Amino acid sequence: MSFNTNYQCANDPAFNNRVTACCAAEGRPNPVTAADQIRWPIASSADIAAAYASAVAAENPNPGGDESVITDQMILSAVQAHPTP
């Protein structure tokens, strides 16, 4: 896991769409804004960062959108651990 990989994950459109969908499912007001406010700590959380880095190393073309790389449960747990300001 590197800062570069964390940056890639935090800026991965498919990953961000999944975080936004999770925020909506969790009932956060304005899920787009909520996801944008917490995407960096979520992308940097240990399990997500490790999974994303592994997928990048394996040349997965869609690491942020591949549910076998980063599961919905991983995203849900991270979203629940990071309240929006």
CA–CA dist 82, 60 (Å, integer)? 27
User: What is the pTM for the complete model shown?
Assistant: 0.95
Residue found by looking up tokens 């747990």 in the block: 77
Whole-number mean pLDDT of the chain? 96
Asked if the model's pLDDT at residue 9 lies above 90, the reply is yes
Q: How do residues 14-50 score in pLDDT, each as one tens digit? A: 999 999 999 999 999 999 999 999 999 999 999 999 9
Asked if the model's pLDDT at residue 1 lies above 90, the reply is no
DSSP assignment string, 19-74: HHHHHHHTT-SSHHHHHHHHHHHHHHSHHHHHHHHHHHHTT-S-TTT-TTTS-HHH
- Indicate the domain borders of the chain: 3-81
